[in-house]
Amino acid sequence: MKKHAISVAVACAIFGAAAPVYAQTGQSGFNPNISAVINVGYTDRSDFEGIGNLPIDEEHAGGPDEGFWVDHTELALSAAFDDMFYGKVTTVLAEHDDETEVELEEAFVQTMGMPYGLSVRGGRFLSNIGYLNSKHMHTDSFVDRPLVYRAFVGSHYYDDGVRLNWVAPTDTYIELGVEGFKGGQFPAAADSSIGATNLYAKFGGDIGDSQSWQAGLAWLSTEHVFGECGTHDHGHDDEHDHEDHDEHEEDHHDEEHHDEDHHEFEFGACDFDGDKDFYIADFVWKWAPGGNYKYQSLTLQGEYFYVDEDGWYGHEHEGEYEQELRHDDSNSGWYVSGVYRWSPNWSAGVRYSEIDPADVYSEGYKPKATDLMLDWNYSHFATVRVQYTRDESMEDLEDDIFSIQFVGTLGAHGAHLY
């Protein structure tokens, strides 16, 4: 017994001497990074009317508001808890209908140093669908997200969940992952513990010293429950008004009205009950002489979305959900963009987006938008951007949108993703 006690004491002494400071003091041994991103601007435009009658998250799909705005300004805190876990919290000031609201966009913990290229992330975070979605919007080369992103995922999809990720030990970049989410944020609208899942794969590599590329595939499967809106925590679950639809006569529920010839579509995102599957492909190619992006570079990128919808649209009548329109159809959309930098201070870009909705939404009309932008960067931390957009989101409604934007970073800010 005495020998065992001595051995334990020696082991504890050795461990105590080797233990890091944070274990002895009960405090983190790493100083946190605190940063703020200021995103302000002015936009001259007409009122947002929708995107081809698609049931969208209107507060995040419309792009910048008319007049002066402060939108998607971030305050972030990140640090390693110890040598095994890293954490980050990001809050966002978002402006909707002239009201500024605070959104918790990220609050996650991620493992560090797991074997075999594995990592686990849990909490609230941006999903790894597509190319743009996992990036913060202030890192974009344009004032707002492409039309296809705003229509299908409300500009960006984040949610509460967990991610398992694997990076292969190969010369060609290979990343595979699976995500499971609560499904409480648009485009999901579930009432279960796991209401959305995502499987994704990313590949990439270099072509000589001056070129690089990355391609990705993703499958996001989401559940939708009638009355659940999933609109970025704005509390619309309780605000959706069904009273205007209570006057529908019972014969509207006859089978002949459950077809795709229903041309008086008045349903919203909260009225769908069923499943939506998103199939997403993305590609980006970058060129810079000798790999130095500071003085000259060209970036070409594009993404394609295919959204399969299977379920019912209906209304609440006397406290009960009544199916009215059988919906088994698909939407698709895509964008392409090019950005050319010809000096450390100047760059310009062009982008085109188009959506092909199901006939029940737009009866053959394809919403589209064309963007032209010019950037001036005094430094890596401050950008002044002007942008012109020819917006044709709604049939017979063409809008010329002009925006000027300032994006600036305060404090320590991590490097942007590829």
- pLDDT tens digits, residue range 74-99? 999 999 998 899 999 999 987 766 67
Query: Average pLDDT in the 130-156 region?
Result: 95
Whether residue 72 has pLDDT greater than 90: no
Band of residue 141 on the pLDDT scale cut at 50, 70, 90: very high
Query: Average pLDDT in the 112-133 region?
Result: 96
What pLDDT score was predicted for residue 28?
Answer: 52
Whether residue 31 has pLDDT greater than 90: no
Band of residue 167 on the pLDDT scale cut at 50, 70, 90: very high
CA 187 – CA 305 distance, rounded (Å): 13
User: pTM for this structure?
Assistant: 0.85
For all residues of the chain together, what is the average pLDDT? Answer: 85
Band of residue 231 on the pLDDT scale cut at 50, 70, 90: low
204: left (phi over 0), alpha (psi -120 to 50) or beta: beta
Residue 121 CB neighbours (<10 A): 19
Write out the two tokens for 302. 């594009």
What pLDDT score was predicted for residue 30?
Answer: 61
- pLDDT tens digits, residue range 298-332? 999 999 999 999 999 998 887 788 888 999 999 99
Secondary structure of the chain as H, E, C letters: CHHHHHHHHHHHHHHHHHCCHHHHHCCCCCCCEEEEEEEEEEEECCCCCCCCCCCCCHHHHCCCCCEEEECCEEEEEEEECCCCEEEEEEEEEEEECCEEEEEEEEEEEEECCCHHHEEEEEEEEECCCCCCCCCCHHHCCCCCCCHHHHHHHCCCCEEEEEEEEEECCCCCEEEEEEEEECCCCCCCECCCCCCEEEEEEEEEEEECCCEEEEEEEEEEEEEECCCCCCCCCCCHHHCCCCHHHCCCCHHHHCHHHCCCCCCCCCCCHHHEEEEEEEEEEEEEEEECHHHCCCCCEEEEEEEEEEEEEEEEEEEEECCEEEEEEEEEEEEEEEEEEEEEECCCCEEEEEEEEEEECCHHHHCCCCCEEEEEEEEEEEECCEEEEEEEEEEEEECCEEEEEEEEEEEEEEECCCCCCC
Whether residue 21 has pLDDT greater than 50: no
- pLDDT tens digits, residue range 240-287? 444 444 444 444 444 444 444 444 677 888 899 999 999 999 999 999
Write out the two tokens for 53. 């009658």
Phi and psi for 373 in degrees, rounded to 5?
A: -135, 155
In the chain the domains, ranked by start, together with CATH numbers, are: 126-411 (2.40.160)
Write out the two tokens for 50. 């929708």
What pLDDT score was predicted for residue 58?
Answer: 83
Phi and psi for 100 in degrees, rounded to 5?
A: -95, 125
What pLDDT score was predicted for residue 97?
Answer: 66
